[in-house]
Amino acid sequence: MSKRTVAVVGGGCAGVLATRELLRGGDDRVVLIEPDEPGGGLAYGSARPWHLLNSRAGAMSADPDDLGHFTRWSGGTADDFRPRTEYGRYLRSVFASVADSYGDRLSLRQARAQRLVTGGLALDDGTTVRADEIVVATGNPAPAQPAARPEHPDYIADPWAPGVLDAIPSDVPVMLVGAGLTAIDVALTLTADRDRDAPITAVSRRGQLPLTHTAVAAPPVGLALDDCTTLRDVVRAVRAEAARAGDWRAVVDGLRPHLDQLWTALTPGEQEAFLRHLARPWECHRHRMAPSVGARVAELRAEGRLEVRAGGIRSMTAPPAGGLLVELEAGVQWFGAVINCAGPGRLPAAAGGFAGSLLDAGQARVGPHGLGLDIDDAGHLIGADGQTRDNLWLIGPLRRGARWETTAVPEIRAQARVLARSMSPVPA
CATH class of 155-211+288-340: alpha beta
Asked if residue 1 has pLDDT above 70, the reply is no
pLDDT at 337: 97
Asked if residues 80 and 57 have their Cβ atoms less than 8 Å apart, the reply is yes
Give the mean model confidence (pLDDT) for residues 293-318: 95
Which residues, in sequence order, are bridge partners of residue 287?
none
How far apart CA 298 and CA 312 sit, in angstroms, is 23
**pLDDT one-digit tens code per residue, 5-30:** 999 999 999 999 999 999 998 899 99
The larger pLDDT score, comparing residue 43 to residue 167, is at 167
- Residue 265, number of CB atoms within 10 A of its CB: 16
pLDDT band at 222 (very low <50, low <70, confident <90, very high): confident
Q: Strand (E) positions, 96-241?
A: 106-109, 113-117, 120-123, 128-130, 133-136, 155-156, 174-177, 200-204
Percent of the chain with pLDDT strictly greater than 70:
98
Tell me which of 108-122, 153-167, 371-385 is least confident.
Answer: 153-167
**pLDDT one-digit tens code per residue, 75-88:** 999 999 999 999 99
pLDDT at 227: 83
How far apart CA 313 and CA 270 sit, in angstroms, is 28
pLDDT at 423: 87
Q: Which fold would CATH assign to domain 5-142+345-422?
A: FAD/NAD(P)-binding domain (3.50.50)
* Secondary structure of residue 109 in the 3-state scheme: strand
Give the mean model confidence (pLDDT) for residues 287-308: 97
How far apart CA 249 and CA 30 sit, in angstroms, is 40
Contacts 24+ apart (CB under 8 A), 320-329: 322/154, 323/154, 323/172, 324/150, 324/152, 324/154, 324/155, 324/175, 326/175, 328/203
pLDDT at 428: 43
Give the mean model confidence (pLDDT) for residues 252-278: 93
How far apart CA 289 and CA 176 sit, in angstroms, is 18
pLDDT band at 330 (very low <50, low <70, confident <90, very high): confident
DSSP state of 150: -
pLDDT at 40: 79
pLDDT at 197: 85
In degrees, rounded to 5, the angle at the alpha carbon of residue 332 between the alpha carbons of residues 327 and 337 is 75
Q: Which of 34, 374, 327 is nearest to 203 (CA)?
A: 327
Asked if residue 42 has pLDDT above 90, the reply is no
Which residues, in sequence order, are bridge partners of residue 317?
325
Q: What is the pTM of this model?
A: 0.93
**pLDDT one-digit tens code per residue, 225-235:** 888 888 999 99
CATH 3.50.50.60 occupies which residues in the chain? 5-142+345-422, 155-211+288-340
User: Quick one: residue 294, left, alpha or beta (phi over 0 = left, psi -120 to 50 = alpha)?
Assistant: alpha
Give the mean model confidence (pLDDT) for residues 216-229: 87
Q: How far is CA 406 from CA 2, 10, 21, 81, in A?
A: 33, 16, 17, 20
Give the mean model confidence (pLDDT) for residues 325-352: 93
Q: How far is CA 150 from CA 43, 317, 342, in A?
A: 26, 7, 16
How far apart CA 339 and CA 341 sit, in angstroms, is 6
Asked if residue 310 has pLDDT above 80, the reply is yes
Residue-averaged pLDDT of the chain? 93
How far apart CA 300 and CA 318 sit, in angstroms, is 28
Q: What proportions of the chain, in percent to the nearest 5, are helix, strand and coil? A: 35, 20, 45
Residue 377's H or E segment, with its range, is none
Tell me which of 187-196, 278-287, 313-322 is least confident.
Answer: 187-196
pLDDT at 424: 60
Contacts of 40 (CB under 8 A, 6+ apart): 11, 12, 46, 88, 91, 92
How far apart CA 215 and CA 80 sit, in angstroms, is 8
Asked if residue 64 has pLDDT above 60, the reply is yes
Asked if residue 66 has pLDDT above 70, the reply is yes
**pLDDT one-digit tens code per residue, 405-425:** 999 999 999 999 999 999 866
Asked if residue 193 has pLDDT above 70, the reply is yes
Asked if residues 404 and 147 have their Cβ atoms less than 8 Å apart, the reply is no
Q: Report the first-to-last Cα separation within the chain, whole angstroms.
A: 5
Asked if residue 147 has pLDDT above 70, the reply is yes
Write the burial class of residue 111 (CB in 10 Å: 0-12 exposed, 13-18 middle, 19+ buried).
middle
How far apart CA 347 and CA 250 sit, in angstroms, is 33
